Amino acid sequence: MAGTSKLTELIQNKGNFSYSFEVTPDVSEEDIDNLRVEPLFFSVTWHAKTHQCKDLNIAPLKIALKLNSKQKNVLLHLSCDMMKTTYLTDLLAMLQENGICNLFLVLGEGFDASNSDFVNTTEMIKFIREKTGQYFCIGIAGYPGCSDEKLKQIKEKVDAGANFLLTQAFFDVDAFKNLKDSCEKMGVRVPLIPGVFSFETPKQLDGFINMCKIKVSEDLLKAVGDNEKMNRPCTDIIKQLIKQLNSICNITHYHFFTINKLNDVQKLIEGIKE
């Protein structure tokens, strides 16, 4: 079964370029079936405030199981927000029964500790390890340009049992390299996967910036404007980012935040492979 493959094993020895897709639970099954490219895995976002962790019959789990049934590797997002130990115990058992072994843990947007049994992701990692041992491959978030305090938290999470870092989208290779170097200096030697947002127009970039609250440089905004004036596709900027990450940081795997625009990302990947 595809789902039993751990992410850290999947991304090893895949040449100079491999990729994965983030999708939301309302992704079209037809769009997945019509893909010409084959991502190493699909990550599925978690929306605690929408489904409120009331039962296991919720959209993120439905699409995760559907992907798993199609022999696709799945990385399921989970948040501390509104998470109770009883619910998580049942969820972990269900995932094990279905051979899904990859998790990506976050605190959750608008996290309220009073509604959760976990005050942070470190606690959740420890709980999962206590309940299931090494069955799950656990990922945590990384933030290029983050503070020293955030770096310490990354170290704590890895010491607690996290297996890889997946970053927020970024457009500054130096910021990513600094994060990579800082992690290595702290003794954090787990895979670091860059999150990539591909956009075709300035409007798409603005929408992503507003949705994810990320910062971008004036240089990037100028490059986007220049590309638009010269009628060049903005995807050229992403192709250059990937090329630099490979040459400067020796990165070979990239995780694309698709916002369910699978065909757009597919075209970018096919262009990179040419």
Is pLDDT of 274 > 60?
A: yes
Is pLDDT of 70 > 70?
A: yes
**148: helix, strand or coil:** helix
The CATH fold assigned to 2-273 is TIM Barrel (3.20.20)
User: Looking at residue 2, what is its pLDDT?
Assistant: 58
Q: How confident is the model at residue 217 (pLDDT cuts 50, 70, 90)?
A: low
Is pLDDT of 205 > 90?
A: no
Side-chain half-sphere CA neighbours of 188 within 13 A: 25
| Domain edges within the chain | 2-273
Contact 252, 15 (CB under 8 A): yes
Side-chain half-sphere CA neighbours of 70 within 13 A: 18
Of 61-65, 218-222, 240-244, which range is least confident? Answer: 218-222
Q: What is the average pLDDT score of the chain?
A: 91
pLDDT in tens, 115-161: 999 999 999 999 999 999 999 999 999 999 899 999 999 999 999 99
User: Looking at residue 9, what is its pLDDT?
Assistant: 95
Is pLDDT of 227 > 70?
A: no
User: Looking at residue 57, what is its pLDDT?
Assistant: 97
User: Looking at residue 228, what is its pLDDT?
Assistant: 63
Q: How confident is the model at residue 210 (pLDDT cuts 50, 70, 90)?
A: confident
CA distances from residue 274 to 32, 34, 269 in whole angstroms, order as listed: 22, 20, 9
- 241-274 burial, b if ≥16 CB within 10 A, otherwise e? bbeebeeebebbbbbbbbbbbbebbbbbbeeeee
Instruction: Give the pLDDT mean for 66-87.
Output: 97
pTM of the full structure? 0.93
**112: helix, strand or coil:** coil
CA distances from residue 144 to 44, 70, 177, 178, 187 in whole angstroms, order as listed: 22, 34, 8, 7, 17
